[in-house]
């Protein structure tokens, strides 16, 4: 959701009250500067009005047919976006680098934005990063430095600009470990947390090392244009399927790129062969599908995202099986296996994961569950990074997720209700890590009816309401 939609929705849901800019900034989680610009535009377009009291402007939504229609559009966009489990990454370029266009791509279904360092210098990249953050601080930013030989300066630029992911070209797992050290951690075990995550680009030259690369990287980008050499084109579908399966086995996101909707660079609808190709990506279990020239340089960036989103939803509506391939077994994977059984046998409406670093969400994403999966975290950066995981709906909450108690569970449940992810009548499974010391592992699985869970905690707190649910 864009920041403008977030402010509008807040005012609409609280239509009986007036708020100043500082209050709106704090309650919606966006900067004061962005809130000021948005409120001025809403006032100009007759969606809101301002009243001056004690040298302060207080804003309120205008109650009319126009605002009602706009609110219903936002709700419909949220519902349709929530239905999509396979995520969309868009390359930003001359066709899509303006603020308004970035906002429209988000509305059409963009889950993450990619900036190619071969097209922009550090200053140009910083300008686009600023635009994205002004429009939405929930969209993760991926900096592609795979075609750039100056890795050190770009790694530094990524850290300075709070980038979420970088895409790199590597030969083997040792190259990933070297880049990890540039980013401040020594091995994959330290990747959990707020550091930049490394996505490795898989091409023909490193395909023989794909298993060790997948193990060491946070995820991989399957470059279909470069995945096979010469006359071995018949191997491409098998290679794609094999890599995705290995990623699911290891609980890593697999991103498919390369001529996804190439024809839509010049026209506003896809070719039938492209629809079939995308269908296979979704059926194979890809976490994300990346648009490149379609959104970076094409004539129809909005239409390309809308078409891809529509195809994904159409395919996913017919999926009936969870992922049942071989999974690496450890304690967290065992919890994931238990969640899979619970979903099948206990009529679960949603899984709610409380995660401080995102690892549990990544492992459970690999199970490809049919029900809604919500991952609650108190870190804004990790919340953004969760956005590229298949089927995961990120949720930013307050609280100490290093030491989870009933307070954090209730915060997550009530915020899920506010966002419309769950209903009070739903049955949910809560997954978290509790009572950990040095070795933090996912070791909690609880099943609750939402209304019963909240009633119990309200009674236990002797009437003290932790978080108000409207």
User: One digit per residue, pLDDT tens: the chain, 470 residues?
Assistant: 678 888 998 999 898 899 999 999 988 878 899 899 999 999 999 999 999 988 889 999 999 989 988 888 777 666 555 579 999 999 999 999 999 999 999 999 999 999 999 999 999 999 999 999 999 989 999 999 998 888 999 999 999 999 999 999 999 999 999 999 888 876 555 556 788 999 999 998 999 999 999 999 999 999 988 887 766 778 888 899 999 999 998 889 999 999 899 999 999 999 999 999 999 999 999 999 999 999 999 999 999 999 999 999 999 987 755 554 554 555 455 666 777 777 777 778 899 999 988 988 998 898 888 889 999 999 999 999 999 999 999 999 988 787 788 889 999 999 999 888 998 989 999 998 765 555 556 778 889 999 999 998 887 654 443 333 33
In which element (H, E) is residue 341 found?
helix 331-345
Architecture of the domain delimited by 331-460: 3-Layer(aba) Sandwich (3.40)
Rounded distance, CA 118 to CA 97, Å?
Answer: 15
CB distance 194 to 384 below 8 Å: no
How many residues are given for the chain? 470
End-to-end CA distance of the chain: 20
* pLDDT confidence of residue 276: 95
* pLDDT confidence of residue 433: 77
Cβ neighbours of residue 141 under 8 Å, at least 6 residues apart?
A: 112, 113, 114, 115, 129, 132, 161, 163, 164, 165, 384
Helix/strand/coil for 268:
coil
* pLDDT confidence of residue 283: 94
Tokens of 113: 């934005």
Predicted model pTM: 0.81
Could you tell me how far CA 81 lies from the centroid of its own chain? 11
Which candidate, 217, 211, 437, 441, places its Cα nearest to that of 334?
A: 441
What are the backbone dihedrals phi and psi of residue 74, each rounded to the nearest 5 degrees, phi first? -65, -45
Q: Are strands 254-257 and 288-291 parallel, antiparallel or unpaired?
A: parallel
* pLDDT confidence of residue 334: 65
Cβ neighbours of residue 426 under 8 Å, at least 6 residues apart?
A: 349, 350, 449, 450
331-460 shares the fold of 3-71: no
Rounded distance, CA 171 to CA 206, Å?
Answer: 5
Q: Are strands 372-377 and 165-169 parallel, antiparallel or unpaired?
A: unpaired
**β partners of residue 447:** 429
The DSSP output letter for 285 is T
Tokens of 140: 């993760």
Rounded distance, CA 50 to CA 60, Å?
Answer: 7
Cβ neighbours of residue 453 under 8 Å, at least 6 residues apart?
A: 409, 413, 428
Residue 32, number of CB atoms within 10 A of its CB = 11
CB distance 285 to 109 below 8 Å: no
Tokens of 110: 């963009």
* pLDDT confidence of residue 190: 57
Rounded distance, CA 467 to CA 67, Å?
Answer: 28
53: alpha, beta or left? (left if phi > 0; alpha if psi -120 to 50) = beta
Tell whether domain 85-316 is in CATH 3.20.20.60.
yes
Rounded distance, CA 100 to CA 24, Å?
Answer: 22
In which element (H, E) is residue 352 found?
strand 350-354
**β partners of residue 255:** 221, 288
How many helices (H) and strands (E) are present in the chain, helices listed first? 18, 15
The DSSP output letter for 427 is E
The ranges assigned to domains in the chain are 3-71, 85-316, 331-460
Determine the CATH number of domain 3-71: 1.10.10.10
In which element (H, E) is residue 394 found?
strand 392-396
User: Edge-to-edge strand order for the sheet containing 392-396?
Assistant: 392-396, 372-377, 350-354, 427-432, 444-449
Helix/strand/coil for 31:
coil
């Amino acid at each position: 959701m864009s920041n403008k939609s977030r402010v509008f929705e807040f005012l609409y849901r609280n239509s009986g009250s007036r708020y100043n800019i500082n209050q709106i900034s704090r309650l919606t989680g966006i900067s004061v500067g962005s809130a000021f610009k948005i409120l001025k535009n809403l006032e100009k377009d007759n969606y809101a009005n301002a009243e001056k009291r004690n040298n302060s402007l207080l804003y309120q939504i205008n109650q009319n047919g126009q605002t009602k229609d706009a609110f219903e559009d936002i709700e419909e966009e949220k519902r349709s976006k929530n239905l999509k489990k396979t995520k969309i990454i868009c390359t930003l370029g001359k066709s899509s680098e303006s603020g308004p266009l970035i906002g429209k791509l988000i509305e059409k279904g963009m889950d993450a934005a990619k900036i190619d360092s071969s097209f922009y210098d550090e200053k140009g990249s910083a300008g686009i990063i600023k635009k994205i953050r002004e429009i939405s601080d929930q969209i993760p930013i991926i900096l592609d430095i795979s075609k750039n030989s100056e890795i050190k300066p770009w790694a530094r630029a990524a850290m300075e600009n709070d980038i979420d992911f970088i895409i790199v070209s590597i030969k083997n797992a040792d190259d990933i470990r070297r880049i990890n050290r540039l980013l401040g951690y020594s091995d994959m075990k330290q990747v959990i947390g707020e550091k930049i995550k490394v996505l490795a680009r898989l091409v023909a030259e490193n395909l023989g090392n794909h298993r060790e690369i997948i193990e060491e990287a946070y995820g991989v980008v399957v470059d279909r244009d470069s995945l096979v050499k010469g006359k071995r084109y018949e191997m491409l579908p098998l290679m794609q399927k094999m890599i995705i399966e290995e990623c699911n086995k290891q609980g890593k996101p697999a991103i498919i790129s390369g001529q996804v909707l190439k024809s839509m660079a010049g026209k506003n609808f896809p070719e039938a062969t492209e629809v079939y190709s995308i269908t296979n990506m979704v059926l194979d279990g890809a976490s994300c599908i990346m648009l490149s020239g379609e959104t970076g340089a094409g004539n129809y960036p909005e239409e390309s995202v809308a078409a891809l989103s529509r195809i994904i939803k159409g395919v996913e509506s017919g999926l009936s099986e969870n992922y049942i391939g071989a999974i690496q077994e450890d304690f967290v994977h065992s919890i994931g296996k238990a969640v899979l059984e619970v979903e099948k046998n206990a009529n679960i409406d949603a899984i709610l994961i409380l995660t401080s670093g995102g690892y549990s969400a990544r492992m459970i994403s690999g199970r490809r569950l049919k029900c809604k999966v919500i991952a609650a975290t108190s870190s804004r950066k990790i919340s953004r990074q969760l956005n590229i995981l298949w089927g995961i709906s990120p949720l930013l909450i307050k609280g100490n997720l290093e030491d989870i108690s009933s307070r954090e569970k209730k915060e997550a449940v009530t915020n899920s209700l506010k966002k419309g992810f769950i209903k009070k009548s739903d049955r949910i499974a809560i997954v978290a890590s509790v009572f950990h010391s040095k070795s933090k592992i996912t070791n909690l699985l609880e099943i609750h009816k939402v209304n019963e869970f909240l009633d119990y905690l309200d009674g236990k707190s002797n009437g003290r309401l932790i978080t108000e649910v409207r």
